[in-house]
Structure 1
Amino acid sequence: MSADVSLIAGCEEGLRIPGLTLNHDWIGKAEEGQLLEHVDGGRWRNDLKRRVQHYGFRYDYRARFVSPADYLGPLPGWLADLAGHLVDNGLFSKVPDQVIVNEYLTGQGISAHIDCVPCFGDTIAILSLGCPVVMTFQCAASGARCEMVLPACSLLGLSGSARYDWLHGIPARKSDTINDMKTQRLRRVSLTFRSIIIGA
């Protein structure tokens, strides 16, 4: 795994989002395939329009709440290894204890949002598997916007202003424009790592 993480410039000239990082090759293609096998061997939930899996703690989307009763057990080994690497690479100060797996099929997205502030810690990390996708960012205060391509095997990090001041989302559509080319969306799976704040 490469530890090379760089700050990404936004789409508006001179716009930079403090705390936003993207590592294009955080894992290799072989490991990507192994992770997808683990994901596909897990139990899917259908709480949302897209399929999800919860590990460590269940997150209540409606109540926007996490309690000790939502504890599901320690992360399985394949996720615990990744969580440990996040600490080794300096993205987290301690091992994250919650992971949500999201599956996005053609046409599916996620509304622009800021991850629950009282529920989760200072850093969010999102590992992308499968099809690349365009993620949008919007400043809650100024309305400034930008877009970024999240390639397969990349790791997105959100901390500081990127974590607390900017909404991130994926528009629900069947294609994206990537490198000036219309690109059909196929299946994408994301692994979102977070640290739980109990009693939020």
Structure 2
Amino acid sequence: MSSPSSSSSSNHVSEFVVPPHLVSKYYSTNPKVNTITGLYVFPNYLSQEEASNIMNNILDANEWCSGEICRRQQHYGYLYYHTRHHLPNLQPKKQEVSSLKSMDFDSFWSELFWEKMIKRDGLFNCDTSYHVWKENVESNHGNEHDENAKRAEPQCLVNEYMGNQGIASHVDNVNAFGDVIVGISLLNPVYMTFRKDKLETKILLPPNSCYVLTGESRFEWRHGITHMKQIYVPREYLVSEEEAITNSSDVEDEAEGKMFIREDNYRRISLTFRFIKIDGTKKVVGTEPKEEGAW
């Protein structure tokens, strides 16, 4: 496991601070919800070279898990995928009893997660679970197996969405996951839905973008991925003309942007980085998954 940084990102802060070299901006489909408190989106967080390296040398070079839910996944770090449907392989009583493969976190995500997200950008500075992990590492509690100590581990969940596949609106389990959720969106654009009470909007996630859920957006808004077939991308959020055409299965020109059509071969990859609060995970021994657990 990587060591904590001695940089300014090691300071525990109560609110998220946008790094000075990054600019958060996003396109909302509802003019009445131009901003969501605690939500940050960084377009072009990854260069095209970085994104291609992740796709070719990490994701498509490793084995994909399929069969548990309706889309393919990869798991890095502590194996735990929260659903409300009690899937034993995804919520195992013991890590070693699951038939699913969980790959070593540090072997694949040291550069993106530890060097970029943690040390350079401090994206998890306001996450209590990150500081639990950090304090355990500094005090070597992680090696002492102290049953009374709070425990936290980083996790990367990779989801592959084909065609117009989406995911139902939800709030990531507050007992199992930390205060900050960080996502990377690759290959093709998509809209993430946000719902709170009677308010609803869709937020554009362009390719190579990074989104951060903190505070109100993390705990009070439900988020999901829309099933809509057409994805309109304003011109300012497009990648270069060549990359936009290459990454899309079918693109229609529009005066102020482009309309992407989610045909069957439309592929989008999401990376979700979280700190797991291990003592808060619901572990399942042998319950049969329900049909609706496919999402």
What's the TM-score, normalizing by structure 1?
0.87
SS in 1 for 2:38: strand
Q: By how many angstroms is 1:181 displaced?
A: 4.5
Superposed CA deviations along residues 138-176 of structure 1, whole A, max 9, x for unmatched, are 11xx22111111011100000100000111111224322
Q: 1:193 aligns to what? A: 273
Post-superposition, which runs of at least 4 consecutive aligned residues in structure 1 deviate over 6 A? none
Superposed CA deviations along residues 63-106 of structure 1, whole A, max 9, x for unmatched, are 38867833846414331221111112021134861000000111
SS in 2 for 1:16: coil
Give the distance between the partners of 1:148 and 1:86, measured in 2 at CA. Answer: 22
* Distance of aligned partners of 1:59 and 1:49 in 2 relative to their CA distance in 1, 3 Å threshold: same
* Distance of aligned partners of 1:183 and 1:135 in 2 relative to their CA distance in 1, 3 Å threshold: same
**Which residue of the other structure, out of 94, 115, 118, is the alignment partner of 1:69?**
94
* Distance of aligned partners of 1:107 and 1:8 in 2 relative to their CA distance in 1, 3 Å threshold: closer
Give the distance between the partners of 1:40 and 1:14, measured in 2 at CA. Answer: 37
Determine if contact 2:26/2:204 at 8 Å carries over to the other structure. Answer: no
Greater per-residue helix proportion: 2
Structure 2 unmatched ranges of 5 or more: 1-19, 97-101, 135-152, 235-256, 281-295
* Distance of aligned partners of 1:107 and 1:5 in 2 relative to their CA distance in 1, 3 Å threshold: same
* Distance of aligned partners of 1:53 and 1:7 in 2 relative to their CA distance in 1, 3 Å threshold: same
**Which residue of the other structure, out of 155, 160, 165, is the alignment partner of 1:103?**
160
| 1:6 lines up with 2:27 in the alignment | no
Give the distance between the partners of 2:186 and 2:155, measured in 1 at CA. Answer: 18
The amino acid that maps onto 1:40 is D
Greater per-residue strand proportion: 1
SS in 2 for 1:108: coil
Please, which moves more after superposition, 166-175 or 57-66? 57-66
SS in 1 for 2:36: strand
Q: 1:91 aligns to what? A: 123
Give the distance between the partners of 2:214 and 2:77, measured in 1 at CA. Answer: 21
Q: 2:206 aligns to what? A: 151
The amino acid that maps onto 1:21 is Y
